[in-house]
Amino acid sequence: MSAPTTHAGPRRPTPPVLLLVTEALRTDRAAMVGLLGTLTVFATLPAGLAVASGALVGGLDRLRALGWPGASRQVLLAAAGLGLVFLAQLVLPMVARVVAERVGRALDRAVSGRVVAALAAPTGLERLEGPDTQELISGVRGGLIATNLRDAVTGLVNIGLVRAAATLSALVLLGYRWWVALGLLAAYLVAMVVVSRLYQRQLVSADGTPAGLARALYLKSLIITPGAAKEVRIFGLADWLLAGYRDEWSRALARVRAERSGALRVSVVSTVAVAAGQALVFVPLAADLTAGALTPGRFTAFAVAAVGCGGFLLASPDLLHIAVGGETVRAVRELERSSGPTTAGTARRPVPRAGAIVFDGVGFRYPGSPDWVLRGLDLTIEPGTSTAVVGVNGAGKTTLVKLLCGFYRPTEGRILVGGVDLRDLDPVRWQRHCAALFQDWIRWSLPLRDNVLLGAPGHPAEQHELDEVAKTSGLDQVVDELPAGWDTVLSREFDGVDLSGGQWQRVGLARALWATRAGAGVLLLDEPTSALDVRGETELYDLLLAAAPGRTVVLISHRFATVRRADQILVLAGGRVVERGDHRSLMDAGGEYAAMFTAQARRFREEDQA
């Protein structure tokens, strides 16, 4: 049953100004209230200017008629008022801009932190890989959010200052002739709508720009990234990367630039048209002055008010900054909304201590992809046993592990853990229960000790336990050779050392093992030892199994010498398990496994003989 509809049409999106003001108030209420107060005071200044200059001219008029000291009080008061207004007009915008800068920076920090928190919160990867999220991530990483929000808050203040002042000036004109004030206001409103539309169009044309800019910056960064340095040199990629960077950069900005020049033309035309309207106000004013219907003082007050209305004409980039900042806030709110249910959903059952892992008719397509990676997948992994998964490249082995970790939900079918659907388990506890080493595990630029301990942050680190883990993963020799042992930073970038591929793999294994020590019951290894020689890998696997008694181990490997030791071997093809059994039974069956094993064994024999 679908949820009852609460409104007839799509809801109007909240205007960017409102979004920015509410977020800014949430971030730094005191500064924002001060800012709004400053704006309110500033808004009265042009009206004050009109009144004070009118009073001064009127006073001078009286002075001519009455002389000193009869009109002196009015003249002096008006002059003092005028001076105060000028001073405030000078000081208040400066104060407002400084406060706006502070609020903008605070907002930027808060929003960037919220994006990171929202991205880190979900246990699944779907949201993280979505194109909208990618754009936000590009924005956070490239510092674009920082610029967006700071410029938007400053823009709010700039526009707020002039618009508020212009509105009060228009109100002063009401005291002259209501139809003049309203006519002028109507003309300005039309111009404002036209200009806002133009900026909105610019915003639409900027859609996708952050992603384009991020691609460009990525290409440029490759030229100076140590990790890419070898290939950049050996294949002579520097020129190609630089050209690609320039190309992506200008393509990303091409539409924005084209739109910007169009916008400039139209805003100039609308500004001139409205300025002409404003000038027309001086016709009745002059006529009334000449006819004696207006005193020189009142004429001056209204003339100054008419000029003060010019703030409406402002078609500045601030409007674009406000629109962009508003969109950023909207996107962040949307991200937070969509991240919420994944973490705080209904799935709260504790992880069963015992019981098999069962894939029951599991089918899976990656979000947005029409292709089934797995379909009709049935398999059982008994607790405390080892299972090896084999299959050709792209068969879906890693995908199977990712589903098991709860990074994605099956498109169809279900995964049961001790009889409980994975969807109903507490996702965070389940992920802590799985220790995994993926093909692309992280090489933290941190001391070796942290590289291992991060397998279970917060778990008390006893040195003898760390040493045992190092022994099991073959890391002990590496520790002995490192200049500062466990405290050696594993990165040259941070004044440390770098390890070989095989040594790094042992670090990764030690991390996964540390997680099992901390209580993880399932050990998932996705080609964890591909950089080791065959003998090293086989020995290591034996050690691992011995070091993780009672743990459920799932191993993905293309090395059959290792695979053969598993209690159960699954052959994956066409998205399903096509063969299962232990090494002996699969060899006896003479199927795909036997063929792959024999081919690999023959190759190794030939290599040995050679």
Ligand X SMILES: Nc1ncnc2c1ncn2[C@@H]1O[C@H](COP(=O)(O)OP(=O)(O)OP(=O)(O)O)[C@@H](O)[C@H]1O
Give the CA count within 13 Å in the CB-facing half-sphere of 140: 19
If residue 526 lies in a helix (H) or strand (E), which one and from where to where? strand 522-526
Complete edge-to-edge strand list for the sheet that includes strand 522-526: 434-437, 522-526, 552-556, 386-390, 568-573, 576-581
CB of 376 to ligand X, least distance (A): 16
Nearer to ligand X, 167 or 399 (CB): 399
Six token digits for residue 30: 């005191």
By CB under 6 A, name the one of 218, 249, 282, 366 that touches ligand X: 366
- Enumerate residues 383-412 that contact ligand X by CB under 6 A: 391, 393-399
Decide if residue 440 touches ligand X (CB under 6 A).
no
- Least distance from C-beta 336 to ligand X, angstroms? 23
The residue among 408, 592, 436, 610 whose CA lies nearest residue 509 is 436
CA distance 343 to 505: 31
**Footprint (CB under 6 A) of ligand X, residues 76-135:** 129
In the chain, the N- to C-terminal Cα span, in Å, equals 70
Q: Cα-flanking dihedrals φ and ψ of residue 532, to 5°?
A: -95, 155
For helices 72-120 and 29-66, the axis angle rounded to 10 degrees is: 160
Task: Examine residue 369 and tell whether it contacts ligand X (CB under 6 A).
Answer: yes
The size of the interface with ligand X (CB under 6 A), counted in residues, is 12
Least Å distance, CB 365 to ligand X, is 9
Q: How far is the CB of 399 from ligand X (least distance, A)?
A: 3
Dist CA 359 CA 410 (whole Å): 10
The distance of closest approach from Cβ of residue 530 to ligand X in the complex, given in angstroms and rounded to an integer, is: 10
**Which residues have C-beta within 8 Å of that of residue 602, sequence separation ≥ 6?**
none
Residue with smaller CB distance to ligand X, 394 or 550: 394
Q: How far is the CB of 515 from ligand X (least distance, A)?
A: 21
Measured from the CB atom, the residue of 248 and 526 that comes closer to ligand X is 526
CA separation for the pair 582, 586 (Å, rounded): 6
> Smallest gap, in angstroms, from Cβ of residue 379 to ligand X?
15
Taking the complex as a whole, how short is the minimal distance between the CB of residue 332 and ligand X, in angstroms? 24
Residues 515-574 that bind ligand X (CB under 6 A): none
Classify residue 345 as exposed, middle or buried by CB count within 10 Å of its CB (0-12, 13-18, 19+): middle
Closer of 88 and 357 to ligand X (Cβ): 357
For strands 386-390 and 568-573, give the pairing.
parallel
Nearest residue (CB) to ligand X, 126 versus 476: 126
Per-residue string for binding with ligand X, 126-155, x by CB under 6 A? ---x--------------------------
> Quick one: 381 or 389, whose CB is closer to ligand X?
389
* Binding test (CB under 6 A) with ligand X, winner from 55, 213, 373, 540: 373
Q: Applying CB under 6 A, which residues contact ligand X?
A: 129, 366, 369, 373, 391, 393-399
